[in-house]
């Protein structure tokens, strides 16, 4: 796994979220997840993106996956 690629994808994804380009953000986070599937932060970002475009059921699945990997944020969004 190339951590630099993942970090760059996350940076791009966050930038897309900030400017309400949710489909582009989702694409970045999905690409990052292909490289690092056990990263709860990536699943959380994917969930935020999915929720923003109205794909609520998939968003819940991604939020749950994040918590499954790291249950630290039981009170998270």
Residue-wise pLDDT for 31-43, tens only, equals 999 999 999 999 9
Residue 77 has pLDDT above 60, yes or no: no
Task: Say how many C-beta atoms besides its own lie within 10 A of residue 51's C-beta.
Answer: 17
Domains of the chain with CATH codes: 3-70 (1.25.40.10)
Span 44-58, pLDDT tens digits: 999 999 999 999 999
Going from the C-alpha of 40 to that of each of 14, 36, 73, the distances in angstroms are 15, 9, 10
Q: What is the pLDDT of residue 4?
A: 94
pTM over 0.85: yes
- 63-73 per-residue burial string, b: 16 or more CB within 10 A, e: under 16: bebbbebeeee
Tell whether the model's pLDDT for residue 6 goes beyond 70: yes
């Amino acid at each position: 796994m190339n951590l630099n690629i993942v970090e760059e994808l996350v940076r791009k994804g966050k930038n897309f979220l900030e400017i309400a380009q949710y489909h582009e953000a989702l694409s970045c986070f999905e690409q990052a997840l292909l490289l690092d599937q056990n990263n709860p932060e990536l699943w959380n970002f994917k969930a935020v993106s999915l929720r923003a475009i109205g794909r609520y059921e998939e968003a819940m699945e991604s939020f749950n996956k994040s918590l499954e990997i790291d249950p630290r944020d039981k009170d998270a969004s």
